[in-house]
Amino acid sequence: MLDFKIDEEKCIECGLCAEDCPVRIIEMNPKPIIRKEKEKNCLKCQHCLAICPTAALSILGKNPEDSISVTGEIPKPEAISRWMKTRRSIRKYKKENVDKELIQELIETAAHAPTGHNDNAVLISLIDNKEDLDLFRSKVYDSLKNARETGTLEKRFQFLLSYQKLWEANGTDIIFRDAPHLIIASAPSADASPLADCLISLCYFELIANSHGIGTLWNGMIKWAIDDIDPELRTLVGIPKNHTIGYVMIFGKSAVKYTRGIQSEGLKVNRIKF
């Protein structure tokens, strides 16, 4: 049930909701309606709720007054461009936890990332305190040590053994970089685009985290440990078997401050012409 409702006193019959509906299931009669037999085609994108100029439309039990208005301050393109160009991966962190309320705010913002079919099925597996991350870090290094001793580590991951030896010898943490927090994005493998959904969600998380002065690092080594080296690590952090892991990100308060952005070599561009 879509719970599609129109406040007839507010509705001005502009037809914007019907015009913007991606699957064209909204009709004007003369007010907007969705016929029962067409409800199953709804993408649940809420575009109709978002575009209504008079807040007359409600769907899926959502109250338009509870949505964020777009009339507030929006960063200028130059500011966004500067922000993105000066973003740096952080590999040195302060030895303190990020406030849990702030972490929750970051995740709630990342929840607005677009997903295939508006499925919104990304699962965020979070370690939100340094103490638990210390325990997980030890488990990962133990898994590498076991793989080294049993000779079961694939050739492409052999380089990780040198990091394990450093950890064992003097506590030098190359893999986790002594970060206090970790976030893993996964999604049901049967979904339309599980990998892309996870990556986009983490991009949203990273940008809002950086705006709060929280450093981040996309961490493929931890993903390999969970996905390819020790399946028990997946169980340990509670990722369902039927999920695809998009990526792993470590984060925390940065212990370094960069003065300027790098000078990118740019992207290769294939200009398509027909």
Q: What is the CATH number of the domain that holds 58?
A: 3.30.70.20
In a shared domain, residues 189 and 91: yes
Evaluate whether residue 259 is within a structural domain. no
Same domain for 245 and 122, yes or no, is yes
Q: What digits encode the pLDDT tens for the residues 169-188?
A: 999 999 999 999 999 999 99
Q: Could you read off the pLDDT of 8-23 as tens digits, one per residue?
A: 999 999 999 999 999 9
Confidence of residue 199 (pLDDT cuts 50, 70, 90): very high
Q: Give the mean pLDDT of 220-235.
A: 96
Domain closes at, from 16, 41, 66: 66
**75 part of a folded domain:** no
Average pLDDT of the residues in 96-115: 96
CA distance 206 to 218: 9
Is residue 267 in some structural domain? no
Q: Provide the residue range defining the domain that includes 118.
A: 80-253
pLDDT at 57: 98
- Same domain for 183 and 50, yes or no, is no
pTM reported for the whole predicted model:
0.93
Position 72 scores a pLDDT of 81
Domain boundary among 18, 33, 66: 66
The partner residues of 124 in beta bridges, in order of sequence, read 185
Please report whether residue 266 resides in a domain: no
Asked which of 69-78, 167-176, 203-212 is least confident by mean pLDDT, the reply is 69-78
Instruction: Evaluate whether residue 71 is within a structural domain.
Output: no
Rounded mean pLDDT of 90-114? 97
The answer to whether residues 22 and 106 belong to one domain is: no
143, 194: one domain: yes
User: Do 51 and 139 fall into the same domain?
Assistant: no
Q: What is the pLDDT of residue 255?
A: 97
Same domain, 60 and 193: no
> Exposed, middle or buried, 246 (CB in 10 Å: 0-12/13-18/19+)?
buried
Where do the H-state alpha helices sit in the chain? 16-20, 47-51, 77-85, 100-110, 130-150, 160-170, 194-211, 220-224, 231-236
Average pLDDT, the chain: 96
Within-domain flag for 191: yes
54 with 104, same domain? no
**Domain CATH for 191:** 3.40.109.10
Q: What percent of the chain has pLDDT over 70?
A: 100
Do 112 and 197 fall into the same domain? Answer: yes
Per-residue pLDDT tens for 263-272? 999 999 999 9
Residue 149's SS3 state is: helix
Number of domains in the chain: 2
Domain check: are 99 and 222 in the same one?
A: yes
- What mean pLDDT comes out for the span 223-237? 96
